[in-house]
Amino acid sequence: MDLEKEIRSSSNGDQLWFDARDLWQWLGVKKQFAAWIRAQLKRNKLRYFEKGIDYIIETEKTAGRPIINYKLSSRMCQHMAMLSETSKGGEYRDWLLKIERELKELEGLSESEIYQKRLRELADTIEQEEKRLALE
């Protein structure tokens, strides 16, 4: 199950963008798309996702009302899929956990070594974010 192969994508320079409406449909979310995407963007802004980096909003002119298209980075698309409370979201989480277990076996790391590695990566991420915020 490769989420990124099932969602329409487009590239803009080096960045690959995934269509939020396709993600919404793929996940089988019952909520209206406009309400769902607004809630997702609000919730995910709290997790360091930034407009222009992790998502973009494009307005498409039509004969009637304009269409607002939301494009998501791969990271944000995966994040939203993992946090969704739908059966497809659960399948995606399970698939990622399976891949993670397989990678652990290939790396030959123990559980504690993996957690230590993750803690170091998290500490590095926090340090980088603090530096970025200090520059603003």
Residue 8 is predicted with a pLDDT of 65
Beta 55-60 vs 9-12: how paired, if at all? unpaired
How many domains does the structure of the chain reveal?
1
- Cα angle 65, 69, 71; round to 5: 175
Residue 20 is predicted with a pLDDT of 92
Tell me the β-bridge partners of 12. Answer: 15
Q: What is the pTM of this model?
A: 0.67
Domain span at residue 83 reads: 3-135
pLDDT in tens, the chain (136 residues): 555 566 666 666 677 888 999 999 989 999 999 999 999 888 877 667 888 888 999 998 989 999 999 999 888 888 888 888 899 888 888 888 887 787 777 777 676 776 777 778 878 888 888 888 888 7
